[in-house]
Amino acid sequence: MAKHETPLLDQLEGGPWPSFVSDLKAQAETKPEVWDILGQLELSYKDRITHWKHGGIVGVFGYGGGIVGRYSDVPEQFPGVEHFHTIRVAQPASKYYSTENLRKLCDLWEKHGSGVTNMHGSTGDIILLGTRTENLEPFFWDLTHEMGQDLGGSGSNLRSPACCLGLSRCEWSCYDTQDACYHLTLHYQDEIHRPAFPYKFKFKFSGCANDCVAAIARADVSVIGTWKDKIRIDQAAVKEYIAGNYPSNGGSHAGRDWGPFDIKKEVLDLCPTECMWMEGDELKIDDAECTRCMHCINVMPRALRPGAEQGATILVGAKAPILEGAQMSTLMVPFMKVSKDNEYEELIDFIEKIWDWWMEVGKNRERVGESMQRVGLPTFIKVMDLEPIPQMIKEPRCNPYVFWAEEEVEGGFERDIDEFRARHAA
Amino acid sequence: MALSVDELKAKIVEKAEKSPKPQLYIKDFYACDPDAKPRQIKNVANELVREGKLMFWSSGSTTMYAAPHRIQNEEKKK
């Protein structure tokens, strides 16, 4: 029987979609404290203000991350959520689980917590919602000793690295994203578990420009697979697509009749750099102009493949805050060999050069992308010992954070503008 | 690093005890030894946490350091 009246929340159970309210009511049958989540949330809807206090001092011994303290500011009314801490558990690479592992984890959470989970948080961790302070150490012991799993990152730490399916299931992956993610997770255990930075720091690994973990939109260092040489073309397969014998996009749009495949309309005209054309029945690509966007490969996967000389593009500075909207990361290194043979040495050197600078220069609660904007791209490029290249800016003369030094401008800042304009119209 | 580890520990603890704010960012401790690398300051601060002389406070997105008795009093007031 319901412990609290929840008329506002009950409205969220209407409609055809699944409702977290229904889920919480079901969970409350075995975990009575869950009624108090519903009760407190109903009160928040009425008062139009959160009733969670901000942060806390909870954690497990030796770790400065992985636990987020949550306390109710109305514990007399809702004693079940007086303490309702969140635990972040590091996810396996690409989120491959066995059902046995998931059952064990859920049993453990039923034993030590509310049983409420969020699979997964936006960084990728398994989120376990709601436990009391005295349950944290016993849970942590069981998680690490019985299940061999670990907490993820939170606070001003390196957050749990995340990757796409990579070579495990995807023929387009240009490097082993899972191995890179696993290797760097182990390499940076100290940075994940103990706060070191002015603010959070994330890296994510995508095997190709389809970017299935959205690294470019939210990771401070986005490692996105690419290739250096030419797209590999099977001209016989191109002909099969044109003849309608192979379904475009691997058949993913097969639920509706879109008419016969039109290579000009669906591939050539949609190429962002217009670097493709047909010569007779042969597909031609000017690879020097190709931006490796993956569109043509997505449409004709049996005819086109990424080139054979593979690695990754490294971009820096994305963030996806709720209030301000996302900032995409900026390209820094167009091509880097990302290889387990040298234990990702080049990538690790690059990441640590960013950290050395950002730990010194970054303001409190400033993501590295914000530090880059504040100091300007040319300064950041110098810090990273990189040469400026056209790909680093969106287009000439439009980038908001490139500043010219006086000595870089012919005639300096004091030259006669009228004389200059007589020769160069605005 | 101009100071020894023990000297740096003492400076960090003093700062955590005397600072007007009970919670401090890791960067607030950089001034304890301007010659030390940020990573060295972080390592010493974390050692102090393990010794029970400092404590973490986290909002979930940011982590700060504090003297245990000061932050525990602050938490009680909330």
Would you list the domain boundaries of chain B?
5-77
> DSSP letter string over A288-303?
TT-----HHHHH-TTT
Contact A365 B46 (CB under 8 A): no
Contact A364 B27 (CB under 8 A): yes
Residues in A touching B58 (Cβ below 8 Å): 55-57, 59, 64-65, 67-69, 154-155, 195
Secondary structure letter of residue A86 according to DSSP: E
Residue A395 has what pLDDT?
A: 64
Question: Does A71 contact B at CB distance below 8 Å?
Answer: yes
- Show the tokens assigned to A357: 């600078």
A74: nearest CA partner in chain B: B78
Question: Does A323 contact B at CB distance below 8 Å?
Answer: no
Question: Does A365 contact B at CB distance below 8 Å?
Answer: yes
Contact A196 B26 (CB under 8 A): yes
CB B8 within 8 A of CB B33: yes
Question: Does A68 contact B at CB distance below 8 Å?
Answer: yes
Per-residue pLDDT of chain A (426 residues; tens, 9 = 90+): 789 999 999 999 998 999 999 999 999 999 999 999 999 999 999 999 999 998 888 889 889 999 999 999 999 999 999 999 999 999 999 999 999 999 999 999 999 999 999 999 888 999 999 999 999 999 999 999 999 999 999 999 999 999 999 999 999 999 999 999 999 999 999 999 999 999 999 999 999 999 999 999 999 999 999 999 999 999 999 999 999 999 999 999 888 888 999 999 999 999 999 999 999 999 999 999 999 999 999 999 999 999 999 999 999 999 998 777 889 999 999 999 998 999 999 999 999 999 999 999 999 999 999 999 899 888 999 999 998 888 887 666 666 556 677 888 888 888 888 888 898 887
Fold of A232-305: Alpha-Beta Plaits (3.30.70)
> How far is A196 from A242, CA to CA, in rounded Å?
55
Contact A198 B27 (CB under 8 A): yes
CB A222 within 8 A of CB A206: yes
A197: nearest CA partner in chain B: B26
Which own/partner pairs from A143-149 qualify as long-range (CB within 8 Å, at least 24 positions apart)?
A143/A89, A143/A108, A146/A104, A146/A108, A147/A101, A147/A104, A147/A105, A147/A108, A149/A89, A149/A90, A149/A105
The residue-averaged pLDDT of B53-78 equals: 87
Cα A209 to the chain's mean position, in Å?
Answer: 13
> How far is A98 from A252, CA to CA, in rounded Å?
27
Q: What angle do CA A252, A257, A260 make, to 5 degrees?
A: 90
Q: Which of B50, B63, B64 to mutate to test the interface with A (most CBs of A within 10 A)?
A: B63
Query: Would you list the domain boundaries of chain A?
Result: 7-145, 162-226+312-408, 232-305
Q: How distant is the Cα of B59 from the closest Cα of chain A, in angstroms? A: 4
Q: Which of A191, A357, A359, A363 to mutate to test the interface with B (most CBs of B within 10 A)?
A: A359
Domain A162-226+312-408 has CATH 3.40.50.300: no
Instruction: Identify the CATH assignment for B5-77 out of 3.20.20.70, 1.10.10.10, 1.10.3720.10, 3.40.50.300.
Output: 1.10.10.10
Question: Does B42 contact A at CB distance below 8 Å?
Answer: yes
Residues in B touching A155 (Cβ below 8 Å): 56, 58-63
| A40: Cβ contacts below 8 Å, ≥ 6 apart | A51, A72, A74, A77, A78, A81
Secondary structure E strands in A57-109: 67-68, 86-89
| A31: Cβ contacts below 8 Å, ≥ 6 apart | A110, A114, A115, A116
CB A152 within 8 A of CB A88: yes
Q: Which one of A61, A86, A364 has the shortest CB-CB distance to B25?
A: A364
CB B45 within 8 A of CB B12: yes
- Kindly report the CATH number that applies to the domain delimited by A7-145: 3.30.70.2500
Question: Does B50 contact A at CB distance below 8 Å?
Answer: yes
What pTM was estimated for this model as a whole?
A: 0.91
pLDDT at B17 over 80: yes
* CATH topology match: A7-145 vs A232-305: yes
